[in-house]
């Protein structure tokens, strides 16, 4: 029997790291504010659409590849024995295990100076993930300006531009989260 939706939501919320979630929400909120400023300062003169800027073809390919990779990952996950299968669908970079692994990786530098490369990779990927959160926020309000989306990928409409940009954000974010997972030290088996 499947747990009720509210039970699943409580479990998911309990698995989130408060610090990492606050960072993501802060970056998203800053992006919404930036997008609002962009929208507020919009030009009353409407820009013309330039042919070839929509990039629908490449995004269709990205969507198909992302769908195929997602289906493959889902099938691979289903084949794992239940005790080895990851629990829930929490975004890995925001979970409590990710926060513990970040702390473990940072503390390991004291014992192994070679671990500095892990911290450098961690910092770069963290900045990228925070940028993606910020950019997603910018898109929300900034995209309401027709000049913001007229020559954007997926433009000239708001819906098309958001679909293409959020697809890009999801793909880049997933790759960054996967690289982050590889760069962080694993948790001890006792956890």
**Could you read off the pLDDT of 150-191 as tens digits, one per residue?**
888 777 888 888 888 899 999 999 888 888 888 888 888 754
Phi-psi domain of 92 (left: phi exceeds 0; alpha: psi -120 through 50; beta: other)? alpha
- Encode pLDDT of 85-124 as tens digits: 555 444 567 888 888 888 888 888 888 877 888 888 899 9
Helices within 41-157 (DSSP H only)? 56-79, 96-108, 116-142, 146-149
pLDDT of residue 90: 44
User: Is there a contact between 62 and 171 (Cβ–Cβ < 8 Å)?
Assistant: yes
> What's the pTM?
0.79
User: Is there a contact between 42 and 148 (Cβ–Cβ < 8 Å)?
Assistant: yes
Q: Which of 181, 3, 32 is nearest to 94 (CA)?
A: 181
* Domain limits, the chain: 96-191
18 C-beta neighbours (distance < 10 Å), count: 10
pLDDT over threshold 80, residue 14:
no
User: Is there a contact between 177 and 91 (Cβ–Cβ < 8 Å)?
Assistant: yes
pLDDT over threshold 60, residue 1:
no
User: Is there a contact between 49 and 155 (Cβ–Cβ < 8 Å)?
Assistant: yes
155 C-beta neighbours (distance < 10 Å), count: 24
pLDDT of residue 85: 57
Cα 152 to chain centroid, rounded: 20
């Amino acid at each position: 029997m499947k747990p009720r939706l509210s039970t699943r939501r409580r479990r998911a919320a309990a698995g989130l790291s408060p610090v990492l979630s606050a960072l993501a929400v802060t970056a998203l909120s800053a992006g919404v504010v930036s997008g609002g400023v962009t929208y507020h300062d919009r030009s009353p003169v409407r820009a013309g659409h330039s042919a070839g800027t929509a990039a629908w073809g490449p995004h269709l390919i990205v969507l198909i590849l992302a769908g195929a990779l997602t289906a493959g990952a889902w099938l691979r996950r289903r084949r794992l024995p239940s005790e080895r299968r990851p629990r829930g669908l929490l975004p890995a970079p925001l979970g409590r295990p990710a926060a513990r692994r970040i702390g473990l990786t940072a503390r390991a530098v004291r014992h192994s100076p070679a671990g500095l490369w892990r911290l450098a990779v961690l910092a770069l990927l963290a900045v990228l993930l925070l940028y993606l959160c910020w950019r997603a926020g910018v898109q929300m309000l900034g995209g309401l300006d027709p000049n913001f989306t007229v020559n954007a990928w997926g433009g000239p409409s708001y819906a098309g531009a958001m679909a293409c940009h959020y697809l890009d954000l999801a793909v880049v974010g997933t790759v960054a989260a996967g690289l982050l997972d590889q760069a962080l030290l694993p948790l001890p088996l006792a956890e």
